[in-house]
């Protein structure tokens, strides 16, 4: 899946399937499962790095995790998030996006914001760096948005989101994430913008969906209404590790099957001081 194929899929075929991933094993699993795109999101902060929000995540964190993901996949579009304040100016954006593409190996970057960051999108796209936009609930602006709540419920807020989405599409974004919006608003944006809309908590009318991997696999403590636990990997892992601990303590593990033999008589001839 290339950026161009992703963009041109709008209006044809089934919804696009996107998920976050931050390491090689899960990236491989996502590719084998047939997802269309992996986002190395700044959600890595909450999902993997033990932070309570996205603010502490740095460009170096995203580069590190993006490189692990891109080493593991062959056919899946990999998009890397530009983290908090890493695209405050066009120069910052160009430098940091180039690092995510060049060192991380991503095919595109994602930035948050509508009208306010459309100029950044234009600069990046003009320099050949594909941009996925992100409007609605944008976690890097959680303080001004009043926390993690549904956006665009009233007319003026909804109109601002529509204007932002259109500005990003006009600036050259190849797709746009719609986070935590009323489903009808997301549907209207999807109908009117020319690029694929990727929803998270934005209902069924989007051109695709994205979720945080760890929320889908029961590996996070988040309890978002818009997510769903498809497998309880945390409890499966806990049961496996309890069994391992029990077998080590009882002497059942390792058994002969997991042990190695040396040459006959070697140990007998060793000397110990
Ligand atoms: O960082 C992230 O994972 C995201 C998605 C939730 C869209 O921005």
* pLDDT tens profile 69-103: 999 999 999 999 999 999 999 999 999 999 999 99
How far apart CA 149 and CA 235 sit, in angstroms, is 29
Whether ligand 1 lies within 6 angstroms of the CB of 200 is answered as yes
How far apart CA 240 and CA 253 sit, in angstroms, is 13
Which pLDDT value is given to residue 183? 97
How remote is the CA of residue 80 from the centroid of ligand 1, in Å? 10
How remote is the CA of residue 110 from the centroid of ligand 1, in Å? 9
Mean of the pLDDT values across residues 205-225? 92
> Is residue 223 scored above 90 in pLDDT?
no
> Is residue 181 scored above 90 in pLDDT?
yes
Which pLDDT value is given to residue 217? 96
Which pLDDT value is given to residue 1? 94
Q: What CA–CA distances, in Å, run from 152 to 64, 170, 219?
A: 34, 21, 30
Whether ligand 1 lies within 6 angstroms of the CB of 21 is answered as no
Mean of the pLDDT values across residues 112-127? 97
Q: Which of 121-125, 148-152, 200-204 has the lowest mean pLDDT?
A: 148-152
Which pLDDT value is given to residue 98? 98
Which pLDDT value is given to residue 83? 97
Q: Which of 11-20, 87-96, 105-114, 147-156 has the lowest mean pLDDT?
A: 147-156
How far apart CA 272 and CA 10 sit, in angstroms, is 72
Closest by CA position to 241, among listed 253, 231, 229: 253
pLDDT > 70: what percent of the chain? 100
pLDDT, tens digit, 9 for 90 and up, residues 185-205: 999 999 999 999 999 999 999
State the chain's mean pLDDT as an integer: 96
For residue 252, how many other CB atoms are within 10 A of its CB? 10
Q: What CA–CA distances, in Å, run from 107 to 75, 98, 135?
A: 11, 10, 21
**Rg of the chain over all Cα atoms, to the nearest angstrom:** 22
How far apart CA 273 and CA 268 sit, in angstroms, is 14
Which pLDDT value is given to residue 70? 98
The structure tokens listed for 82 are 């530009």
- Ligand 1 atom with least separation from CA of 20: 3
pTM for the model stands at 0.95
Whether ligand 1 lies within 6 angstroms of the CB of 175 is answered as no
Whether ligand 1 lies within 6 angstroms of the CB of 81 is answered as yes
Residue with the nearest Cα to atom 4 of ligand 1? 41
> Is residue 177 scored above 90 in pLDDT?
yes
How remote is the CA of residue 165 from the centroid of ligand 1, in Å? 17
DSSP 24-88: HHHHHHHHHTT-SEEEE-TTHHHHTS--SSSTT--HHHHHHHHHHHHHH-SSSEEEEE--TTTTS
pLDDT > 90: what percent of the chain? 93
How far apart CA 125 and CA 179 sit, in angstroms, is 22
| pLDDT tier for residue 137 given thresholds of 50, 70 and 90 | very high
Which pLDDT value is given to residue 2? 97
Phi first, then psi: what are they for 113, rounded to 5°? 115, 155
Which residues are designated catalytic?
Answer: 179
Which pLDDT value is given to residue 142? 85
Whether ligand 1 lies within 6 angstroms of the CB of 207 is answered as no
Residue with the nearest Cα to atom 2 of ligand 1? 41
Residue pair 205/190 in contact (Cβ under 8 Å)? The answer is yes
Whether ligand 1 lies within 6 angstroms of the CB of 210 is answered as yes
Residue the block writes with tokens 């986002």: 39
How remote is the CA of residue 213 from the centroid of ligand 1, in Å? 10
How remote is the CA of residue 146 from the centroid of ligand 1, in Å? 18
Which pLDDT value is given to residue 149? 86
> Is residue 222 scored above 80 in pLDDT?
no
């Amino acid at each position: 899946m290339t950026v161009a194929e992703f963009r041109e899929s709008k209006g044809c075929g089934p919804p696009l399937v996107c998920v976050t991933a931050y390491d090689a094993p899960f990236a491989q699993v996502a590719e084998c499962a047939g997802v269309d795109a992996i986002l190395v999101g700044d959600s890595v902060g909450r999902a993997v790095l033990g932070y309570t929000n996205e603010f502490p995540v740095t460009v170096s964190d995203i580069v590190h995790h993006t490189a692990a993901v891109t080493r593991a996949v062959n056919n899946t579009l990999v998009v890397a998030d530009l983290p908090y304040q890493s695209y405050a100016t066009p120069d910052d954006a160009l430098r940091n996006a180039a690092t995510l593409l060049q060192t991380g190996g991503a095919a595109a970057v994602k930035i948050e914001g509508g009208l306010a960051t459309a100029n950044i999108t234009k600069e990046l796209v003009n320099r050949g760096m594909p941009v996925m936009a992100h409007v609605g609930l944008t976690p890097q602006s959680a303080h001004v948005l009043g926390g993690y709540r549904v956006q665009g419920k009233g007319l003026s807020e909804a109109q601002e989101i529509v204007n932002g989405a259109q500005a990003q599409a006009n600036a050259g974004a190849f797709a746009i994430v719609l986070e935590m919006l009323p489903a009808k608003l997301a549907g209207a944006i999807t109908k009117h913008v020319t690029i694929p809309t990727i929803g998270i908590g934005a209902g069924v009318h989007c051109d695709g969906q994205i979720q945080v991997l760890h929320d889908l696999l029961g590996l996070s403590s988040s309890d978002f209404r818009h997510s769903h636990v498809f497998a309880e990997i945390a409890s499966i892992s806990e049961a496996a590790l309890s069994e391992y601990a029990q077998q080590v303590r009882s002497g059942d593990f390792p058994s002969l099957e997991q042990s190695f033999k040396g040459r006959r008589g070697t140990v007998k001839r060793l000397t110990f001081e």
